Amino acid sequence: MRNALIFFCVLLCCSTSGFAQRRCGIAAEKAALIAKDATWAPRIEKQRASLQIVAGNYRQQKDNGSAARTTSVSAIPVIFHIIVTNTQLAQMGGTDGIMARLNSQIDVINEDFNKSNPDGSLIPSGWTSLYGNAGIHFALAHTAPDGWGTWGFELKVLPGASGGFSKGFDLSCSGAKHASSGGFDAWDNTKYLNVWCVNFSDDTGLLGITVPQSFTIGSGAISASEVGIAINFLALGRRSSSSDVYVPTGWLTDYYDKGRTLTHELGHFFEIWHTWGDDGDACSFSGGRDDGLDDTPPEGGPHFYDYPPTIPGGTYNDTCKLNGLVNTQPFGIASLDFMNYTDDIAMHLFTSDQVAAMDAMVLVPPSGTGTGADGQGTTGESFSLTQNPALTSWPEKVQQTVADNFLTVSPNPTSGVINIKFDMQSSQLNSISVINILGEQVQQINTNSSQKDFYSIDLSGMSKGIYFVRCNFASEIITRKILLQ
């Protein structure tokens, strides 16, 4: 027995070295804003104090039919800016791996924001009545600001083996968000939800940092050009294979591999807080304020790893359960909430109040009802993101990222066979994919073991129409539109 215990302790120590517990940068971001300008302290507290009012106002408008729902029919266009080294690109599975991760990530956030996540069936009975449906939808952007087509991401390969971006003084990872500092400029953040996927070079324990719009208003604010989310590049998407590389949690063999990092950060983007409220781990009877929402019970601080429920009908209690006559909640703390620090595998829900507060950010309420992030606005601050459904569809033209003499696809139009010719000296071609107008892959050729610079593909067995030929090079993706007659 003693040997078994020693073995378990050694295993635990080994597994918890390295990345270990989930961490999000928004609390430190708030502290940095306050350090730059002390007036941010009451501003941030006012925002927390208004959340239940925001949620209540939204519910009232929804009940009387005066709230204009838009998210049920219009997906928010999401663009991913991926900035990694060659080594990190290989860890992601190359460009094909990136596409798989992106598609699965969109699936995850649509499930989590629409009460359709399969692991919702694991929610303890005491919490099922609080399981909320935000009705917010997301899709990869397929039309870029210049009108060209996009696969929903842009890729930059950094030199060296371990490049990355510092969080910066304001902790917004600003270097990644500007082309002038080696990153990518945001696409119009009134139309696109911008997500940067990077290596946080000065904090290997960080999974994500969000800049919501409320952080860009007032003295000492973060630049409006940095609104969006930055996440660890190896926390993107949901695992599809045991060989996929994801960030280890430090808890035995668990990983941040179910796409919940972006779910969590999107909660912050839509202005809700961590469930414990970043209040110095205090309870309500000792000055704590938690997250400002009534249906997320007070808790003493963040909760980590994959803890199973220990209370019938609930999760488990912490130090905030009892204090004299104060009984905070019979079903424990919200350890299974997307806004806690639990591992991906243990996150299952947004609560009804969290959903109402987030929904208020994407709606247009009647004038003067106070459903903005500060409880004073008349329009949901992210409403404009739901008004551009065309950006999630392919345009008439597909981006050509290099000169035509680097890569040619001919004849075009074609009656069947197309010939692909490229400059083999300039870049390694890993694969060629043919995609139909619905975004479905209908052919693929793996080329990374070949020394050829010329390929022919026969499309004669396919239906006439528009197709896209995607050439996956080591450092970029080049796409051509083909008309099959």
**Counting runs of H as helices and runs of E as strands, what totals does the chain give?**
7, 17
Structure tokens at 231: 């996440």
CA atoms of 282 and 261, how far apart (whole Å): 25
Task: Give the pLDDT of residue 119.
Answer: 96
CA atoms of 228 and 189, how far apart (whole Å): 8
CA atoms of 263 and 339, how far apart (whole Å): 9
Task: Give the pLDDT of residue 421.
Answer: 84
Q: Is 481 helix (H, G, I), strand (E, B) or coil?
A: strand
| DSSP letter for each residue of 238-291 | B--STT----B-SSTT-BS-BSHHHHHHHHHHTT---TTTTSSS--GGGT--TT
**Nearest CA-CA partner of 192 in 97, 269, 273:** 269
CA-only gyration radius of the chain, Å: 24
CA atoms of 360 and 285, how far apart (whole Å): 30
Task: Give the pLDDT of residue 17.
Answer: 35
Backbone angles phi, psi at 430, to 5 degrees: -90, -40
pLDDT by residue, tens only, the chain of 485 residues: 334 333 333 333 333 334 567 889 899 899 989 998 999 999 999 999 999 999 998 888 777 665 555 444 589 999 999 999 989 999 999 888 999 999 999 999 999 999 999 999 999 999 999 999 999 999 999 999 988 888 899 998 888 766 778 766 567 888 899 999 989 999 999 999 999 999 987 666 789 999 999 999 888 899 999 999 999 999 999 999 999 999 998 777 789 999 999 999 999 999 999 999 998 888 877 777 889 999 998 888 888 888 778 888 889 888 787 544 444 466 889 999 999 999 999 999 999 999 999 999 998 654 444 444 444 445 789 999 999 999 998 876 555 444 455 778 888 888 889 988 877 666 678 888 898 876 778 888 888 767 678 888 999 888 888 888 888 887 777 888 888 88
CA atoms of 149 and 470, how far apart (whole Å): 12
Instruction: List the domain boundaries for the chain.
Output: 15-277+335-391, 407-484
CB count in 10 Å sphere of residue 205: 14
CA atoms of 468 and 446, how far apart (whole Å): 17
Q: Is 180 helix (H, G, I), strand (E, B) or coil?
A: helix
Backbone angles phi, psi at 76, to 5 degrees: -80, 125
CA atoms of 480 and 397, how far apart (whole Å): 9
CATH level 3 topology of 407-484: Immunoglobulin-like (2.60.40)
> What dotted CATH number matches 15-277+335-391?
3.40.390.10
